[in-house]
């Protein structure tokens, strides 16, 4: 069965190893303080009926970069890439068991867009949301 805090923390740890230039929040902040960043949320869905003693969950991971930063688009595209040192995909699929915390992990998909991260008109970021499916 899925142990939500343990699995979320394992995802955060894998993403935290990507780069010291990208902030990985262990606790979801009210508004991200440091961009670029990666935020791992509790699961959108949990299916407890996969098989006896096995469940499936989908954790959203949000990558945000600052639109005023001239390198923001390059960093976002590197995070979105399937390969490379900043790749979210490569970081998560290198160990599909999250060091034994789950039986399998796969990255379902990614969508991108603009996100409001504060209350002011300049408090926007560009980013991408990944959906990480785990079986445990």
79-100 pLDDT tens trace? 999 999 999 999 999 999 999 9
Q: Give the pLDDT of residue 53.
A: 82
Q: Give the pLDDT of residue 110.
A: 96
**Can you give the residue range of the structural domain that contains 78?**
4-135
The DSSP call for residue 51 is E
Question: Measured in Å, how far apart are the chain's first and last C-alpha atoms?
Answer: 5
Residue 42, sorted as left (phi over 0), alpha (psi -120 to 50) or beta, turns out to be beta
Phi, psi of 6 (to 5 degrees): -65, -45
Of the chain, the percentage scoring pLDDT greater than 70 comes to: 96
Q: Give the pLDDT of residue 49.
A: 80
At 103, list the tokens. Answer: 């039986």
> Total structural domains in the chain?
1
pLDDT at residue 120 greater than cutoff 90: no
C-beta separation of 92 from 132 below 8 A = yes
Lowest-confidence pick of 6-15, 62-71, 86-95? 62-71
Q: Give the pLDDT of residue 116.
A: 76
pLDDT at residue 133 greater than cutoff 80: yes
Rounded CA-CA distance 72/62 in Å is: 15
Among candidates 68, 26, 61, 21, which has minimal Cα distance to 41?
A: 61
At 3, list the tokens. Answer: 């142990």
Question: What is the chain's length?
Answer: 136
Q: Give the pLDDT of residue 69.
A: 74
Q: Give the pLDDT of residue 34.
A: 87
- How many Cα atoms sit within 13 Å of 55 on the Cβ side? 13
CATH number at residue 80: 3.30.70.1700
What residue has token string 């949990």? 46
The whole-chain average pLDDT of the chain stands at 91
Rounded CA-CA distance 23/36 in Å is: 6
Q: Give the pLDDT of residue 121.
A: 64
Predicted TM-score of the model (pTM): 0.91
């Amino acid at each position: 069965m899925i142990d939500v805090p343990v699995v979320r923390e394992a995802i955060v740890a894998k993403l935290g190893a990507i780069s010291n230039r990208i902030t990985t929040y262990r606790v979801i902040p009210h508004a991200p303080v440091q961009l670029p960043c990666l935020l791992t949320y509790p699961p959108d869905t949990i299916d407890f009926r996969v098989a006896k003693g096995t469940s499936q969950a989908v954790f959203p991971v949000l990558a945000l970069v600052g639109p005023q930063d001239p390198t923001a688009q390059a960093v976002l595209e590197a995070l979105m890439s399937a390969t490379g040192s900043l790749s979210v995909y490569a970081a998560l699929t290198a160990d599909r068991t999250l060091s034994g915390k789950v039986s399998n992990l796969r990255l379902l998909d990614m969508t991108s867009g603009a996100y409001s991260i504060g209350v002011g008109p300049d408090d926007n970021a560009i980013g991408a949301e990944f959906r990480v499916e785990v079986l445990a």
